Amino acid sequence: MEPGNESRISEFLLLGLSEKPTLQPLIFGLFLSMYLITIIGNLLIILATISDSHLHTPMYFFLANLSFVDICFISTSVPKMLVNIQTQSKVITYAGCITQMYFFIAFTGLDASLLTVMAYDRYVAICLPLHYSVIMNSWLCVLLILLSWITNVLNSLLHSLIALRLSFCTPLEIPHFFCELNQVVHLACSDTFINDVMIYFSAVVLVGGPLIGILYSYYKIVSSIRSISSAQGKYKAFSTCASHLSVVSLFYCTSLGVYLSSAVIQNSQSSARASVMYTVVTPMLNPFIYSLRNKDIKRALRSFLCRKTIKGSTVLLLKKCAC
């Protein structure tokens, strides 16, 4: 078939981060380690939040949801890449590519939405402390989570459906380690005007919109902190936002840096390597940022791990006695 001819394709080729065979074992070991660290770290945050009654507050409810989304986010791309390296195959089926693209869009948007919800929670806690328990009630918290899920799932579904109408040409090589929406759309032979409009529109509304909300929340927070007279009060107020602000900075700086640099440097392989920062490194670092800077999380984690250690030791001792 000549290049440019349309066809009903059945698979794509993911070129990955490097085509050098000697680097494949190193990439496999590195990404497997980062994946396991991400899963374990975020899972511990979720379990600590659930097990400790002191953490049953809106802030930690949103944090547990963010940890769950981060687990799902990294699981959309890394496992397939590890399988391809292990089997020495670059193939991903057409259905698999669309599915991976769907979940990646949904969880990227959910990350942005949850970070915005958490910024609003900090705004209410610092700027309206006397009304915090009334405003941030359990009904509103659940509603904010549901709205985040519904909005991003529908947005992702729309992108996937309009991608299904595209006709593709050979060669079907994606210079990335996962099916990134923009890369897949630009492989199409048919008109991609609607897809491009939707990509830019959703980027402005569902990524730019949350960023504006976060910036506004922190503008109000900083204004409130400046009005606090004591230095200790200022430090205490700011310390409740430090972890969240670090995660927001990491997520937006890495993701925006990747897409802005890819627009300037027309090198898809370099863009794929840079995208590792927000697709893999950011979800891995989030649990460390929250646990290292948060005394409540550290206390809950110690309590949870101690209970598991004691329970395991007790079970082992009973087994020995039974023998």
Q: Work out the pLDDT band at 55, boundaries 50, 70, 90.
A: confident
Q: Please tell me the predicted confidence (pLDDT) of residue 62.
A: 95
| Residue 322 lies inside a defined structural domain of this protein | no
Beta bridge partners of 12: 92
Q: Work out the pLDDT band at 17, boundaries 50, 70, 90.
A: confident
The two three-digit tokens of residue 63, written as one number: 């944090």
Pairing label, strands 11-14, 91-93: antiparallel
- Whole-number Å distance between alpha carbons of 120 and 69: 19
Q: Please tell me the predicted confidence (pLDDT) of residue 72.
A: 96
Helix residue spans in 204-230 (DSSP H):
209-226
| Residue 314 lies inside a defined structural domain of this protein | no
Q: Work out the pLDDT band at 96, boundaries 50, 70, 90.
A: very high
As to burial, measured by CB atoms within 10 angstroms (0-12 exposed, 13-18 middle, 19+ buried), residue 193 is exposed
Q: What is the pLDDT of residues 199-238, one digit of tens each?
A: 989 988 988 899 999 999 999 999 998 888 888 878 877 8
Hey, what's the torsion of the CAs at 258, 260, 261, 267, to 10 degrees? 90
Q: Please tell me the predicted confidence (pLDDT) of residue 5.
A: 44
Position 1 pLDDT exceeds 70: no
Q: DSSP letter at 186?
A: T
Q: Work out the pLDDT band at 266, boundaries 50, 70, 90.
A: low
Which positions ≥6 away from 193 have C-beta within 8 Å? none
Q: Please tell me the predicted confidence (pLDDT) of residue 3.
A: 42
| Residue 3 lies inside a defined structural domain of this protein | no
Specify the number of domains making up the chain: 1
Position 274 pLDDT exceeds 80: no
| Residue 142 lies inside a defined structural domain of this protein | yes
Position 61 pLDDT exceeds 90: yes
As to burial, measured by CB atoms within 10 angstroms (0-12 exposed, 13-18 middle, 19+ buried), residue 99 is middle
Q: Please tell me the predicted confidence (pLDDT) of residue 101.
A: 95
CATH of residue 66's domain is 1.20.1070.10
The two three-digit tokens of residue 49, written as one number: 């939040």
Q: Where are the beta strands (DSSP E) in 212-264?
A: none
| Residue 197 lies inside a defined structural domain of this protein | yes
Which one, of 97, 209, 107, lies nearest residue 156 by Cα? 107
Separation of first and last alpha carbons in the chain: 71
Place of tokens 């374990």: 40
| Residue 261 lies inside a defined structural domain of this protein | yes
Mean pLDDT, the chain, rounded, equals 86
**Mean pLDDT, to the nearest integer, of 134-150?**
96
| Residue 4 lies inside a defined structural domain of this protein | no
Which pTM was predicted?
Answer: 0.88
Which positions ≥6 away from 290 have C-beta within 8 Å? 45, 63, 243, 247, 297
Which positions ≥6 away from 315 have C-beta within 8 Å? none
| Residue 316 lies inside a defined structural domain of this protein | no
Give percent of the chain with pLDDT exceeding 70.
Answer: 88
> What residues make up the domain containing 34?
11-297
